[in-house]
Amino acid sequence: MQFFTKHSGNFTGRGIRWLFIFISCITFSCNASREFEFAWLSDTHIGSSGADEDLAELVSDINNQAAIEFTILAGDVTELDTDDYLLTARNLLDQLFQPYYVIPGNHDTKWSASGGRNFIRLFEDDKFTFLHQNIRFIGMHQGPMLRMGDGHFAPQDLRWLDSLLNKTKPHKKLFFVTHYPINPSVSNWVEFLKLIKDHNAKLVIHGHGHRNRSDNYAGLPAAMGRSSLSRGGQAGYNIVQVNADQITISEKSPGEPRQQPWFTLSLEPETNIALPQDVPDYSMNNQYPQVKVLWRHFSGYTLTAAAAVDSSRVYTGDASGRIYAFDLESGNRLWQYESGAPVYARPEVRNHSLVFTSTDSNIYCLNNRNGYLNWRVKTGAPVIASPLTDSLKVYVGSSDGYFRCIDLISGSLLWKSAQIDGFVETRPLLYEDKVIFGAWDGNLYALDRQSGTPAWTWSGGRDGVLYSPAACWPVAGRGNVFIVAPDRYMTAINAKTGETIWRSNRFQVRESIGAAADGSAIYARCMRDTVFAVNPAAERLQPDWVSDCTYGYDIAPSMPQERGGTIFFGTKDGFVFALNRHSGKVKWKYRIGPNLVNTVTPLNKHQVVATTINGQIVLLSAETN
């Protein structure tokens, strides 16, 4: 363990914290448990207005509380992982006199230009565990990585927890720290409860809800904490006091006395976790017996992107940093290639080349038959954007402010765009003579396909980068480009000029849009139950059909994909849907698990490859009579 780190010749706050931990271990290792206090921050949202001033004030106030022995920050450290917001947060937290422990929240992982790499670089890990006064503290985030949707414990993190608990005596008191609650808002919450059920879990504290509230999750006592932001009131945090018999939690604002406890929990009774029954529910699959799983593979790591397919293979990457090739017919793994960091974007296969991006900052091209490296292009930041190819070129965005065009055969840079303000995660659109893509800066860009010079830039006019048309894959038809965005508008844009043709919030869209294979129809999946089709030549939004698919509330991005007259899409709850292209009628739906299904990859009108955020790759087939 490193006790000191140096910066400009001085010991940093991080080094002082490690020294404190070391001295604490020596001082208290032989002592019985005693009363102690710690500060609990949450939802600091650095990058939002006034957030850094609020956190600085709270750090100063915590330092004035002599009884506080450490601080925990339960996620949403930043508004989004861009513009050195995480570095600002760390520099402020480093001013604490005592140790601190941090996990990311959904704002730190969903809107992450680095795919979570910056968090780990600055805070050493995205989870933590430590022992204090004979209590084991365990902090774990629930993402979701680069996706809207339910929270999700990464499969690799659940393995870490399982290993940790196997080394922990069953009677040891456990305190958990998460960002989301432990309830159905986290897709695999039951898996988490199964792991801790036979251990002495006393409490979980979490954020996300921005207010103080006591709760109970299937028998596990819980406390949700306020946001540390002032936002028209007072900045504040909570102080958790622990003694041999009970826990109390009190709110505290800078310069004010702490309030009376709003949470009290006795530590005497054993926690009795009652696991929910029949979760998840697969009974719906019985209604569509024609749908079969031809093969299934679990990678064991977070998987956030669609698969690529050719005539004989399926390709996908995951958070292990590996890219895999599977035999399309059998599902057997043919080869794997290991990059230097997690792979979160859809790969692209063209001819005998497989192109993919990695958060190790590289764009790779492999021989798709054996996985051997053809070439690699280094960028200036982690890459989470999906590439697109034509017969000769690769088009791909990045997080270093540039969009690139690369020769598919040699890996030579053909052109690089002018500076782009936001990071790019989308798969671009090649349409007519342009390459079109959104970025997390509020803009949709169109560049000349041959030179990379700007053709036009479109903006929806809504302040705030979180409303950007950056996660949807733009589609086109009849001379127009179509997008949806978190501002809940669907927009048709003239592909030549960038002028708005129409713009409508009649349907509650968000980030899921697709097109017919021949460009004759545009499909959008709404935030609740509904999928609709529009004519791309229409001068206003006039649906050809509207289908009530009853998938519930769902804001996760999954682009509707059409092949052979069937529209396929996935949902946050693990369902794959198939609709009739002409009517929108549901042909079938099938649940492959409880977790978010990424954009699916149809093979034909009967078969589709689906991937899920928990590392599952599945080939589904609907048998025909």
Q: Phi, psi at residue 442, to the nearest 5°?
A: 90, 0
**Do the beta carbons of residue 418 and residue 378 sit within 8 Å?**
no
Per-residue pLDDT for 19 more than 80?
Answer: no
Interval 329-356 mean pLDDT: 97
Domain holding 220: CATH number? 3.60.21.10
**Same domain, residue pair 245 and 323:** no
Interval 261-269 mean pLDDT: 95
**Same domain, residue pair 480 and 613:** yes
**Same domain, residue pair 220 and 298:** no
What range defines the domain where residue 50 resides? 11-266
Q: Is beta strand 68-74 parallel, antiparallel or unpaired with respect to 100-103?
A: parallel
Q: Phi, psi at residue 61, to the nearest 5°?
A: -65, -40
Q: Closest Cα to residue 243, out of 77, 33, 426?
A: 33
Q: Secondary structure of the chain: what % helix, strand, coil (to 5)?
A: 10, 40, 50
**Same domain, residue pair 545 and 459:** yes
- C-alpha neighbours within 13 Å on the C-beta side of residue 267: 17
Split at pLDDT 50, 70, 90, the class of 625 is low
Q: Closest Cα to residue 263, out of 294, 242, 292?
A: 242
**Do the beta carbons of residue 347 and residue 323 sit within 8 Å?**
yes
**Same domain, residue pair 348 and 235:** no
Q: How far is CA 394 from CA 67, 238, 404, 481, in A?
A: 58, 51, 8, 21
Lowest-confidence range among 129-143, 215-229, 267-281, 386-400? 267-281
In the DSSP assignment, the letter for residue 603 is S
The rounded percent of the chain whose pLDDT value lies above 70 is: 95
- Is residue 3 included in any domain, yes or no? no
Per-residue pLDDT for 531 more than 70?
Answer: yes
- Is residue 618 included in any domain, yes or no? yes
> Per-residue pLDDT tens for 570-603?
999 999 999 999 999 999 999 999 999 999 999 9
- Is residue 354 included in any domain, yes or no? yes
Structural domain total, the chain: 2
pLDDT at 288: 97
Interval 26-34 mean pLDDT: 52
**Same domain, residue pair 302 and 229:** no
Cα–Cα distance measured from residue 38 to residue 65, given in angstroms and rounded to the nearest whole number: 10
Report residue 458 as tokens: 């479109």
The secondary structure element, H or E, covering residue 121 is helix 117-123
- Is residue 168 included in any domain, yes or no? yes
Cα–Cα distance measured from residue 445 to residue 456, given in angstroms and rounded to the nearest whole number: 6
Domain holding 461: CATH number? 2.130.10.10
Report residue 188 as tokens: 């695999």
Q: What burial class does residue 153 get, using C-beta atoms within 10 Å of its C-beta: 0-12 exposed, 13-18 middle, 19+ buried?
A: buried
**Same domain, residue pair 213 and 292:** no
For tokens 């949202």, what's the residue?
45
Interval 253-259 mean pLDDT: 97
**Same domain, residue pair 524 and 592:** yes
The secondary structure element, H or E, covering residue 376 is strand 373-378
Side chain identity at residue 368, one-letter code: N
- What is the C-alpha end-to-end distance of the chain, expressed in Å? 64
**Same domain, residue pair 411 and 537:** yes
Cα–Cα distance measured from residue 188 to residue 167, given in angstroms and rounded to the nearest whole number: 23
Q: Give the dihedral sign, CA 59/123/317/394.
A: positive
Report residue 350 as tokens: 């063209």
Q: Phi, psi at residue 13, to the nearest 5°?
A: -60, -35
- Is residue 5 included in any domain, yes or no? no
Locate all alpha helices (DSSP H) within 171-323, ordered by sequence. 189-196
**Same domain, residue pair 209 and 71:** yes
pLDDT at 12: 46
**Same domain, residue pair 596 and 496:** yes
Split at pLDDT 50, 70, 90, the class of 624 is confident
**Same domain, residue pair 260 and 356:** no
Q: Mean pLDDT of all residues in the chain?
A: 94
- Is residue 394 included in any domain, yes or no? yes
The rounded percent of the chain whose pLDDT value lies above 90 is: 92
Interval 77-87 mean pLDDT: 97
User: CA geometry: angle at 612 spanning 608 and 617, to 5°?
Assistant: 55
End residue of a domain, out of 266, 299, 332:
266
Split at pLDDT 50, 70, 90, the class of 26 is very low
CB proximity list for 326: less than 8 A, separation 6 or greater? 297, 313, 314, 315, 316, 332, 333, 334, 617
End residue of a domain, out of 240, 266, 292:
266
pLDDT at 11: 39
> Per-residue pLDDT tens for 212-246?
999 999 999 999 999 999 998 999 999 999 999 99
pLDDT at 15: 52
- Is residue 2 included in any domain, yes or no? no
Cα–Cα distance measured from residue 412 to residue 406, given in angstroms and rounded to the nearest whole number: 6
> Per-residue pLDDT tens for 119-175?
999 999 999 999 999 999 999 999 999 999 999 999 999 999 999 999 999 999 999
Cα–Cα distance measured from residue 94 to residue 423, given in angstroms and rounded to the nearest whole number: 28
Cα–Cα distance measured from residue 486 to residue 501, given in angstroms and rounded to the nearest whole number: 19
- Is residue 416 included in any domain, yes or no? yes
Cα–Cα distance measured from residue 96 to residue 107, given in angstroms and rounded to the nearest whole number: 23
